[in-house]
Amino acid sequence: GGFTMADIKEDPDITLETYDKHHVKVAKSIATRSAIINMMIDDAGDVTEVVPLADKSCTLSIIQRVVEYLKKHAEFEATHADDETILAFDKSFQEQSDEIIFQTILAANFLDIKNLLELMCKKVADEIKKCKTPDDIRDRFNIRQDYTPEEVEEVKRAHPWIYDRNAK
């Protein structure tokens, strides 16, 4: 069925203010998929108020991505999309730079959007699984090694299985 004016009244737009002070209008039914936004609206009792997103991960570009994800998943639910369709969208949604992935994780965590948080964390976990050694992980994620060679040797002696996947 099509949307009527009654549907629109039932689902007013709310305005989110991103960390970098941009205003993003989002249908209430979409925005309230964030447990935190849902709580903030309930507390304010007024959807015409601007909802500030105070976490520095909640920039305009990241919030636009989060909203895109929420809209798409609302659409999947409304149309009873098959798992394959959802999986294809989720997989393409994961294909981003590390910076975007990490900022999306922080935003999903701050906004309390469990399925998005899990999706993006799974992407990081999959990337880690592709690495064979701690050094590979450091290289993959640009992490600086801050242990002395002596400390590394100590860890290798204490936990050899970390360095040799076959030693389990």
Provide the domain count of the chain: 2
What's the mean per-residue pLDDT of the chain?
Answer: 89
3: confidence class by pLDDT, cuts 50, 70, 90: low
Kindly state the tokens that stand for 48: 């015409």
> Would you mind telling me the total number of residues written for the chain in this entry?
168
Residues 85 and 66 in one domain: yes
Percent of the chain past pLDDT 90, that is, above it, reads 66
Query: Has residue 149 got a pLDDT over 80?
Result: yes
148: confidence class by pLDDT, cuts 50, 70, 90: confident
For residue 34, the tally of other CB atoms under 10 A from its CB is 26
For residue 72, the tally of other CB atoms under 10 A from its CB is 16
What is the pLDDT at residue 156? 86
Query: Has residue 124 got a pLDDT over 80?
Result: yes
Distance CA 121, CA 67 (A): 18
The pLDDT tens digits of the residues spanning 47-67 come to 677 999 999 999 999 999 999
155: confidence class by pLDDT, cuts 50, 70, 90: confident
For residue 168, the tally of other CB atoms under 10 A from its CB is 6
Range of the domain at 28: 5-130
Query: Has residue 44 got a pLDDT over 70?
Result: no
Residues 11 and 85 in one domain: yes
- Measuring CA to CA, which residue among 142, 135, 57 is closest to residue 102? 57
168: confidence class by pLDDT, cuts 50, 70, 90: very low
Distance CA 81, CA 89 (A): 11
> What CATH number is associated with residue 35?
3.30.710.10
Residues 158 and 112 in one domain: no
Q: Are strands 23-27 and 13-17 parallel, antiparallel or unpaired?
A: antiparallel
Q: In the chain, what is the greatest distance between 2 CA atoms, to the nearest angstrom? A: 70
Distance CA 160, CA 163 (A): 6
Answer yes or no: are the C-beta atoms of 92 and 49 closer than 8 Å: no
The residue ranking higher by pLDDT, 88 or 165, is 88
The letter for the amino acid at 85 is T
